[in-house]
């Protein structure tokens, strides 16, 4: 059964939706962090995000869509965080940042944009607990799943299996009860608008597993 990570990026009322996610069997809350530089949108500052524990006791999967992950990793490491994920397209030293995440005993992840070749992940595989395959161009919720992602997920699965690394594959963007069938090789699905814009969160989460 797949794990489900719920993104509240498209929520109209974040505290209320976090409480609603808390009542479901979702595995993680997917926290999208945007700095207005790596992507043009900007999400709430950490000073607001640090209060998330008041609304959810779920473990967090933090997705940093930021130019300088090294500035954000120590902040998000303070929360109830299971994974910190940043982008392979960032210009900082990737291994240094993965080691920084590990120094907090938090699981590591690299996110990869639709146009970045999967093979670029190879040097980092020994350091990774998760790869987040972007099935949309990052920056906004509610976009459509890019069909080319299907082959990329398969390529990544074959790559991970060939090296026998225990790395989880997560797919992020445009996930719903139709596109989930394109992600058979994934271990986790990150879903946003499909869940949080619905009346019954649990029903939507169950339809993804």
Task: From the list Zn ion, ligand DX5, none, pick the one residue 175 interacts with, judged by a Cβ distance below 5 to 8 Å according to partner type.
Answer: ligand DX5
> Pattern of binders to Zn ion over 28-47, x per CB under 5 A?
----x---------------
Does residue 164 sit in helix, strand or coil? coil
Q: How far is the CB of 143 from ligand DX5 (least distance, A)?
A: 5
Among 4, 9, 60, 94, which residue interacts with ligand DX5 (rule: CB under 6 A)? 9
Binds 136: which of ligand DX5, Zn ion, none (CB < 5-8 Å by kind): ligand DX5
Total of residues contacting Zn ion (CB under 5 A): 3
Considering only residues 27-86, where is the footprint of ligand DX5 by CB under 6 A?
30, 32, 63
Query: Using the rule CB under 5 A, which residue among 172, 175, 179, 182 binds Zn ion?
Result: 172
Q: Considering beta carbons, is residue 109 or 173 the nearer one to ligand DX5?
A: 173
Draw the binding track, 183-202, toward ligand DX5 (x: CB under 6 A; -: no contact): -------xxxxx--------
Q: Which stretch binds ligand DX5 (CB under 6 A): 71-79, 96-104, 131-139, 151-159?
A: 131-139
User: Smallest distance, Å, CB 190 to Zn ion?
Assistant: 5
Distance CA 50, CA 8 (A): 15
Residues 44-103 contacting Zn ion, CB under 5 A? 63
The residues, any chain, with a CB within 8 Å of residue 5's CB and separated by 6 or more, are 26, 27, 28, 29, 30, 61, 170, 188, 189, 190, 191
Catalytic residues: 32, 172
C-alpha separations of 146 from 130, 152, 209 in Å: 20, 11, 20
Q: Which residues contact 209 (CB under 8 A, 6 or more apart)?
A: 1, 2, 4
């Amino acid at each position: 059964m797949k794990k489900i990570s719920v993104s509240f990026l498209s929520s109209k009322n974040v505290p209320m939706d976090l409480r609603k996610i808390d009542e479901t069997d979702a595995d993680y809350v997917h926290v999208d962090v945007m700095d207005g530089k790596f992507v043009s949108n900007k999400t709430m500052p950490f000073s607001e995000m640090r209060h998330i524990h008041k609304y959810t006791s779920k473990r967090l999967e933090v997705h940093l869509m930021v130019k300088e992950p090294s500035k954000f990793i120590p902040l998000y490491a303070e929360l109830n965080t299971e994974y910190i994920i940043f982008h392979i397209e960032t210009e900082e030293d990737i291994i240094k940042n993965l080691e920084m995440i590990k120094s907090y005993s938090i699981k590591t992840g690299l996110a990869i944009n639709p146009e970045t070749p999967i093979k670029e992940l190879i040097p980092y595989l020994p350091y990774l607990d998760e790869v987040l395959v972007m099935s949309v161009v990052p920056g906004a919720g509610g976009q459509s799943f890019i069909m080319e992602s299907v082959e990329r997920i398969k390529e990544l699965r074959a790559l991970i299996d060939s090296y026998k690394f225990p790395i989880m594959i997560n797919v992020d963007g445009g996930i719903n009860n139709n596109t989930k069938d394109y992600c058979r090789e994934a271990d986790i699905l990150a879903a946003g608008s499909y869940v949080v814009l619905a009346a019954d969160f649990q029903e939507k989460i169950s339809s993804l597993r």
